[in-house]
Amino acid sequence: MYVEDDLTLSYVTRDNLALHGYRIDAADNGADALQMLRKNQYDLCLLDVMLPKMDGFTLAEKIREQDLQIPIIFLTARSTKEDKIHGLKIGGDDYITKPFSIEELALKIEVFLKRRSIALPETSRLMRLKDRVIWDPVNMLLITGKREYHLTQREADLFTCLVQHLDQIVKREELLIGLWGHDRFFSSRSLDVFISRLRKYLGNEGLIIENIYNVGYRLKSVRD
C-alpha cells in the first residue's frame, strides 16, 4: 500500500515499482488508506507524512494497532532529525526523505519482504533465553514474564542478531550494515532507538543489552 497525495510522484513511483514486479494499491489521503488496510491484506506500507484527512504519523500508529508486523517505510519531505526519530518510535521500520532513488526504495522493499518470508526450521522456532524470556523468531513474538510483544520486522531482525551472538559483542558497524545496508549517521541514530525499544521490552527478566562504548552492543544473561 502506497499513500502519497502528490499524484504525479505517486504515478511515477508506482510505475517504476511495477517494473520491479510489485503490485501497488494507492491512496492520496490517510483516511482512505486506513479503510483500504482494513479491507485488504498488504505485505508492506509506504507512507508520506504530510497527508490530508490523516497525517502519515497518525496513520502509522493506527496501522500498528491493527498489525504489529507489517513493515512501514516513510517516504517524506520532512527531514528533521526529530521527525525521523519520531517516525521510528511510533513503529516505522525505515524513513526515506524526498527526493529519493527508486533503486534504493526497491532494494529496501525487497530486503523487507525477503526477511518476512524467511521461515526457520520448526525445531528452532521457540527459543527459551531465560526462565521467563522466550523468543519466537518465526512469528516475531517476544515473551517476557507475563507480557507478549509482537515485534516489527526491524526490531525482530535486530533482536535475532543479538540472540545469535548471546553474551558476545556485536559491533555497531556490523549491525548497521547488516540491517540498514550502510553506517550513515541517521541509521546510527535509528539503531539507538531500536535498542532502547528492545530494552524496554526485556524489562527486568534477566536479559540486558549492554552498550559497549564506541564498539557495539551485547545481549547478556544476568544471574538471578
pLDDT tens for residues 178-202?
A: 777 765 655 667 888 899 999 999 9
Q: What amino acid occupies position 179? A: L
196 Cβ contact partners less than 8 Å away, ≥ 6 residues apart:
none
152 Cβ contact partners less than 8 Å away, ≥ 6 residues apart:
64, 68, 69, 71, 72, 91, 93, 140
Confidence at residue 60, expressed as pLDDT on a 0 to 100 scale: 94
Confidence at residue 4, expressed as pLDDT on a 0 to 100 scale: 96
Counting residues of the chain whose pLDDT is more than 70, the rounded percentage is: 91
Q: Find the Cα–Cα–Cα–Cα dihedral 53, 110, 187, 88, rounded to 10°.
A: 30
Helix/strand/coil percentages in the chain, nearest 5? 45, 20, 35
Confidence at residue 187, expressed as pLDDT on a 0 to 100 scale: 61
Concatenating the DSSP letter of every residue in 124-154 gives GS-EEEETTEEEETTTTEEEETTEEEE--HH
Give the mean pLDDT of 135-146: 87
More confident residue, 176 or 117: 176
Helix H or strand E encompassing 192: helix 185-202
More confident residue, 62 or 124: 62
- Reply yes or no on domain 122-221 having CATH 1.10.10.10: yes
Residue closest to 153 by CA, chosen among 199, 96, 111: 111
Counting residues of the chain whose pLDDT is more than 90, the rounded percentage is: 44
Determine whether 101 is exposed, middle or buried from the number of CB atoms within 10 Å of its CB (0-12, 13-18, 19+): exposed
Other Cβ atoms closer than 10 A to 108: 20
Please report, for the chain, the start and end positions of each structural domain, with discontinuous segments joined by +: 2-117, 122-221
- Reply yes or no on domain 2-117 having CATH 3.40.50.300: no
Instruction: Assess contact for 92 and 86: CB atoms under 8 A.
Output: no
Confidence at residue 119, expressed as pLDDT on a 0 to 100 scale: 44
Whether the pLDDT of residue 218 is over 90: the answer is yes
Grid cell 497518525 is found at 58
Give the mean pLDDT of 53-68: 91
Rounded distance, CA 14 to CA 24, Å?
7
DSSP 3-state of 220: strand
For the ranges 43-57, 77-91, 141-155, the maximum mean pLDDT occurs at: 43-57
Rounded distance, CA 36 to CA 33, Å?
5
Whether the pLDDT of residue 117 is over 60: the answer is no
Instruction: Assess contact for 91 and 69: CB atoms under 8 A.
Output: no
